[in-house]
Amino acid sequence: MKVAVVKYNAGNIRSVINALRRLGVEPVLTDDADELRGADRVLFPGQGEARQAMTYLRHHHLDEVLRSLTQPVLGICIGQQLLCSHSEEGDTPCLGIFPAVVRRFQPRRHEDKVPHMGWNSLHFGEGARSPLLRGIAEEAYVYFVHSYYVPLCAHTAATTDYILPFSAALCRDNFMATQFHPEKSGDVGERIIQNFLDL
Amino acid sequence: MLAKRIIPCLDIKDGQTVKGINFVNLRQAGDPVALGKAYSQQGADELVYLDITASHEGRKTFTDLVGRVAQEISIPFTVGGGIGALADVERLLTAGADKVSVNSAALRRPELIDEISGHFGSQVCVVAIDARQGDDGRWTCYLNGGRIPTDRDLFAWAHEVQERGAGEILFTSMNHDGVKGGFANEALRRLADTLTIPVIASGGAGCRDHFRDVFALGHADAALAASVFHFGEIAIPDLKVFLRDEGIPVRLTATTPTPPPATNTPTHIRQ
């Protein structure tokens, strides 16, 4: 299986590569359109700022490439946010796979610290479980670091409650995304990455 | 619910784990990667690796170690010790660390905090503060692992580092460190209640009750300890169950023992 990780200017891609290697997969880190289109799985991870990331993606025509992918794609953290239609961060138009607007957390009480950083729990609705999240227990803990969030929408696959309930994971056809970092979420995260590889 | 974090700290010298008792008297406590992996499997929420090597050669050994930790461990980890410039931060983040912790260098040149958060984001920038409470009640910050006093007040400095873009504060009470009599809950509470960034408590863990108190009374977001974990005095799975039963939100993992029978449930209200 050929697994590609999107190479762009949002850091912390190494931890995703390390996580894939722990599962016995040697990924290619690439910004080449043909290589991305030809991969069996594409991971779109990252940390960073939305406007700079989108500027880079557009400049390298990666926005069109990402939109055109038909194999399973997994956005992580800022990757999830960039797959939405718009981000409040820098008032940035994004890739538009998920019709949602990314918002900044507004603290309500002193305890509401931003960024939302640390381990928080996942909740699943009544509907069918996304294959990405197969075998993950209700209230399983995963690791988050973010100041912006995706509100609940038709494509929400899991929710987490911090200041308000938000989309911890999204799924639409071949596009999947997590706000949390599965590559830093211990056994639970490892299972989610394995689920993605097994789709 | 956002979990309170339990963080084992590993002091590293020449590639091996050691722990200072009251900042001196080093004792061996095992292989850093194996130890980190064991803690991760037991349910530690993060790890901190502190390089206490002074030499250039030791730095390289530590960077190599950071790379091995990143390859083998699937939870976040922070590295610190001897970080004086952006180049050090870049080297350690490139090796795979999730966060870096700065201490003396930030006291000597506070702009370093602005630079780290500006280049790499606040989320990677942990500012460690070692402070001692004097007889007059005042908390003073110390340099170089608690060897050199400064004229900086703990609370004023904590607010300054927050303004400069620190993502978290790791506060070690030198009065409490190594004594195993509990954390500095009064000072911690004052920090946690007035800062808008998370506070990691360090120094003083001796028994499970101390962890409950640091969260319930000290309002800390995370608690760090070393020797009680390294020498097996407190097992992390037991600590997590204890905290949950005391009403503290913690992350329970598959390896955490199952809940006790209902007859053993404490009578006070749980969530």
CATH number of domain containing A73:
3.40.50.880
Please tell me which residue of chain A has the smallest CA distance to B71. A18
A124: Cβ contacts below 8 Å, ≥ 6 apart: A133, A136, A138, A157, A158, A159
Number of domains in chain B: 1
Q: What is the CATH number of the domain that holds B143?
A: 3.20.20.70
Q: Name the strands in the sheet holding A92-93, side by side, starting at the edge strand that comes first in the sequence.
A: A92-93, A84-87, A98-104, A148-149
| Helices (H), ranges, chain B | 32-42, 56-72, 86-95, 104-108, 111-120, 154-163, 185-194, 208-216, 227-230, 236-245
Instruction: Please state, in angstroms and as integers, the Cα–Cα distance from residue A17 to each residue in A29, A161, A165, A196, B38, following that order.
Output: 8, 29, 30, 14, 22
Give the pair of three-digit tokens for residue B203.
Answer: 């120094």
User: Which of A13, A15, A26, A188 is most worth mutating to test chain B (most B CB atoms within 10 A of its CB)?
Assistant: A15
Residue A141 backbone dihedrals phi, psi, to 5 degrees? -95, 140
Q: Is A183 a catalytic residue?
A: yes
> Cβ separation of A120 and B3 shorter than 8 Å?
yes
User: A72: domain range?
Assistant: 3-198
Which residue in this structure is represented by tokens 């991305």? A36
> Cβ separation of B122 and A115 shorter than 8 Å?
yes
Query: Is B180 inside a domain boundary?
Result: yes
If you count DSSP H runs as helices and E runs as strands, how many of each does chain B have, helices first?
Answer: 10, 12
Number of domains in chain A: 1
Q: What would the pLDDT profile of B197-251 be if each residue is shown by its tens digit? A: 999 999 999 999 999 999 999 999 999 999 898 888 899 999 999 999 999 999 9
pLDDT attached to residue B29: 52
Query: Is B271 inside a domain boundary?
Result: no
pLDDT attached to residue B25: 40
Q: What DSSP state is assigned to residue A118?
A: E
pLDDT attached to residue A127: 75
A14 touching B (Cβ < 8 Å): yes
- Residues of chain A with Cβ-Cβ distance to B222 below 8 Å are 118
Distance from CA of B225 to the nearest CA of A (A): 18
Give the pair of three-digit tokens for residue B90.
Answer: 């870049």
Give the pair of three-digit tokens for residue B140.
Answer: 């003073």
pLDDT attached to residue A94: 98
Q: What DSSP state is assigned to residue A130?
A: P
Q: What is the mean pLDDT of residues B122-129?
A: 94
Query: Is B175 inside a domain boundary?
Result: yes
> Cβ separation of A15 and B72 shorter than 8 Å?
no
Query: Is B270 inside a domain boundary?
Result: no
> Cβ separation of B71 and A19 shorter than 8 Å?
no
Q: What DSSP state is assigned to residue B196?
A: S
User: B82: domain range?
Assistant: 5-264
Between A14, A119, A187, which is nearest B96 by CB?
Answer: A14
Distance from CA of B2 to the nearest CA of A (A): 4
Q: How confident is the model at residue B255 (pLDDT cuts 50, 70, 90)?
A: low
User: Average pLDDT of chain B?
Assistant: 88
Q: What would the pLDDT profile of B73-107 be if each residue is shown by its tens digit? A: 999 999 999 899 999 999 999 999 999 999 999 99
The helix (run of H) or strand (run of E) holding residue A167 is: strand A164-172
Question: What does the alpha-carbon distance between residue B131 and residue A92 come to, in Å, rounded to a whole number?
Answer: 43
> Cβ separation of B74 and A47 shorter than 8 Å?
no
pLDDT attached to residue A64: 97
Between B76, B122, B253, which is nearest A143 by CB?
Answer: B76
Give the pair of three-digit tokens for residue A15.
Answer: 């931890």
- Residues of chain A with Cβ-Cβ distance to B72 below 8 Å are 22
The size of chain A, in residues, is: 199
> Cβ separation of B253 and A187 shorter than 8 Å?
yes
Point out the residues of chain A with pLDDT beneath 70. 11
Question: What does the alpha-carbon distance between residue B166 and residue B122 come to, in Å, rounded to a whole number?
Answer: 5
B40: Cβ contacts below 8 Å, ≥ 6 apart: A186, B47, B73, B74, B75
Q: Report ipTM for this prediction.
A: 0.92
Q: What would the pLDDT profile of B133-150 be if each residue is shown by its tens digit? A: 999 999 999 998 888 999
Choice among A77, A84, A94, A171 that is catalytic: A77
Neighbours of B260 (CB within 10 A): 11
| Share of residues in chain B with pLDDT > 90 (%) | 71
Q: Is A123 a catalytic residue?
A: no
Residues of A (24-63) whose Cβ lies below 8 Å from B: 47-48
Q: How confident is the model at residue B19 (pLDDT cuts 50, 70, 90)?
A: low
| B261 has a pLDDT exceeding 80 | no
pLDDT attached to residue A47: 80
